[in-house]
Amino acid sequence: MADNKWSGFYKLSVDERKKKVIENAKLNTDEAALLDKSGPLGIELADKMSENVIGTIELPLAVALNFVVDSKEVVIPMAIEEPSVVAAASYAAKLAAKNGGFATSYSGSLMIGQVQIVKLEKPEEARDNIDKMRDEIILEADSHAKHLHPYGGGVKDCSARLISTDRGKMLIVEFVVNVSDAMGANAVNTVLEGISPRLAQISGGETRMRILTNLATQRMAGARAVWSKEDVGGEAGVEAILDCWSMAMADPFRRSTHNKGIMNGIDAVLVACGNDWRAVEAGAHAYACMKQGALTTFRKTAEGDLEGKILLPMAVGTIGGSLRVNPVARMCLKILGVTTAGEFASVLASVGLAQNFAALRALALEGIQKGHMRLHSRNVAAAAGARPEEIEKVAELMGLNINEAGAKEALARLRGK
């Protein structure tokens, strides 16, 4: 077998890694030069944050405006390439602010971790033994969470349940851990690893997986807002939006895209603020599947206005993880003006609700493409070769012909050719 040309790649310097990738992919000079560019996240810092680093990649860093969350004006940083997401969130927040903005809730920073136990001779007896020794187990598990104690965190609860699988019955021991203002994955997993030998001894089985769940049902963030009927096309507009929302509640194919629209805004904020957007995505969609419904609810108020609510798992942090070394993420949290995980989660829920309202309003009243393509036209103009000072005019001249041919035609008209 031939030697693996990538063997030891991680041991190379960044420059050596870049050289190997450039040669392997046959990058030209202009393409290779892109690897030498870096923004506020310098290459040296990036190399400490990830594995096999060869460069950095940029996303536009934008801000969504007009948000009033729990009576406080908030500027929302978003790292995203899609202009309509930022514009839609800002517009929805502006309309909501007329009625006081977003009122939020947060259940607390409680994460759930699971220890899987297999090869049980007497599964029911093993479960009962864990239940009987619950207090002792919590105390020992909490000894592995001492770093959380100064912040009011630690192990708060433990329970055991049996599941039936095609490999027989398994015992799942679940721990509830208060992780304070951290996302908490490392803290929870440390507790699980530490307590596993004791659980194996008590149950008489063997432990397998010891890991947190991203379905953080004890770490829920909610938001509520009201939009005046005059801002959504009157009574007919309210009814149209409710029809669109009802389809998402009843049909899984529509619900998938409905919930994805919610995450458009939330993910953009998470990326900007250096949080694990993948974990929040997983939790949100798993929660929606468990509920067999959409993450938002809408109804008509007694006054005929539109009320929206959102509730979803929100495992986020303002300390720990890559936040300690990522200056851009720390800056974005400062722009956001939050210091606790609860404040952060509440803002994210508000962004998700705003994004969902904006999408429903567009779908119900004008079709999603009109506003989306109008904003996208600037990207099309730039791709067609428009200079920065020409982009807005080319986008305007394209009209509804928003494609490469339309952009080139508009550019030629602008330049008098």
**Tokens at 278, concatenated:** 């993948």
Residue pLDDT, tens place only, 94-137: 999 999 999 999 999 999 999 999 999 999 999 999 999 999 99
Angle at the Cα of 113 from the Cα atoms of 111 and 118, rounded to 5 degrees: 165
pLDDT value at residue 323: 85
Instruction: Please say if the pLDDT value at position 156 is more than 80.
Output: yes
The CATH fold assigned to 61-107+219-366 is 3.90.770
- Sorted by where each begins, the domain ranges of the chain are 12-49, 61-107+219-366, 110-212, 371-414
Q: Which residues are catalytic?
A: 82, 260, 276, 372
Confidence bin at 279 (pLDDT 50/70/90):
very high
Instruction: Give the pLDDT mean for 250-277.
Output: 96
Residue with more model confidence, 83 or 282: 282
Closest CA to 198 of 186, 216, 210: 210
Residue by residue, what is the 3-state secondary structure of 352-417? HHHHHHHHHHHHHHCCHHHHHHHHHHHHHHHHCCCCHHHHHHHHHHHCCCCCHHHHHHHHHHHCCC
Predicted TM-score (pTM) of this structure: 0.85
Whether the pLDDT of residue 157 is over 50: the answer is yes
CATH 3.40.50.2000 fits 110-212, yes or no: no
Q: Which one has a higher pLDDT value, 372 or 232?
A: 232
Residue 371 pLDDT > 70: no
Q: Which residue has the higher pLDDT, 382 or 285?
A: 285
pLDDT, greater one: 170 or 368: 170
Q: Which of 20-24, 178-182, 261-265, 385-389 has the lowest mean pLDDT?
A: 385-389
**H or E stretch covering 161:** strand 154-165
- Interval 54-100: pLDDT, tens: 888 888 899 999 999 999 999 999 999 988 899 999 999 999 999 99
